[in-house]
Amino acid sequence: DTPQGRLQKRLFDYLDTHARTPEFRTLVLYAYVQYVKQGIACIVESGQADDSQSVLHACACEIGLKALVDYYDQYDPTIPTETTISIGTHLPEEEDLTPELLREVQERCAAASPWIMTHCLETDWRLADIQEKFGTSTVQVMQNAALLNEKSILFHCIQVTEQDIAAIGEAHATVVCCPISTLRGSEGLMPLQNMLAHKVNITIGTDFIEHDIWDSIRCLYTTMSDPAFPPIDREAVVFAMATSNAETIFKNNGYSGLIQLGASADICCIGHTAELDPLVELSEFSNVLHNVLMQGGKDMVKHLMVNGVFVVYDGVCQTIDEEQVVSKYRDLVARLVVESRA
């Protein structure tokens, strides 16, 4: 109950009650423009606002992103989709999950085997909540309910145990690490060393548009520089988290994260600026990937091609009127802040 808290509550309440309005569409399109201009081609969209899935689906198509859209309890395998869009369902977060809701999710998944997503063990109070209600962790709840498999996507996974990590690895599930978001929120970071030891498929997320994918990459690289980490090819491991590890999720949309003959043309082109120099590429040594990861950024993104179509060219979004979206966004945000103060 602080001025900041009251303002944030009003803004989040607005999102949850305006999902089907033109204003919400403006917010989504603005966010997606920021993603593609960072060089992001694929997103897993979960948790934007109540009843927002159809708008998110449509906006991803309009921009040209490849997306997995969370339809929550509205998931229906007969919903029409495009080659670039997949849909999935949701396991309620710890504070909302009940035995009844768990059974509903089990029935939904048994009928159609969809992707299932959840924000998993993000905080210590969520761990305490699930343990109080189910006597075990969220990962174990999913495993016991036959909901932990290769189509499970778990965000954050900060309060996981060694047993949880082993279960995730054995199930070939995917985890999403959003390092900037969770560290700035004082929640911590998933235990990356143990995740890698169990060969868990890790991908990188931003969580919110104000968190840059390039900063997230550098944050994970820095974390892996800790002396406690075993010797690994940090550049290659982190780059895979940002690219090819997402193939598990988006393979049905043609994404592989690789540039090779026959692969879908999903390519981010960055400018060769002085910040990247010197670039050395020899048979016995290369610093190219290191320099790109350490010095690259959204300002260097020149072009983004998704599924063979230029979504960004010369730094400008090609699929929608970027200037119009930004103008509408700024007007809307200014109005929302004024109204929230009333």
Tokens of 196: 């890698």
Residue 340 pLDDT: 64
What is the reported pLDDT for 163?
98
Tokens matching residue 131: 């343990």
pLDDT of residue 236: 97
Question: What's the token pair of residue 120?
Answer: 């998993």
How many Å apart are CA 122 and CA 157, to the nearest integer? 6
Under 8 Å between Cβ of 137 and 131: yes
CA distances 342 to 15, 154, 333, 335, Å, are: 17, 38, 15, 11
| Whether 147 contacts 132, CB under 8 Å | no
Which pLDDT does position 133 carry in this prediction? 98
Instruction: Please provide the CATH number assigned to the domain covering 3-341.
Output: 3.20.20.140
> Residue 147's pLDDT is what?
99
335 contacts: CB under 8 Å, gap ≥ 6:
none
Quote the CA–CA distance of 128 and 106 in Å, as a whole number.
Answer: 23
Exposure letters 34-63 (e unless 16+ CB within 10 A, then b): bbbbbbbbbbbbbbbbeebbebbbebbbeb
Nearest 5°: the CA angle 244, 41, 38 is 110
Residue 316 phi/psi, 5-degree rounding, is -120, 135
Low-confidence ranges of the chain (pLDDT < 50): none
Q: Which two tokens stand for residue 208?
A: 């919110």
Tokens of 152: 């499970």
Query: Which structure tokens are listed for 30?
Result: 């603005």
* Model confidence pTM above 0.85: yes
pLDDT of residue 7: 79
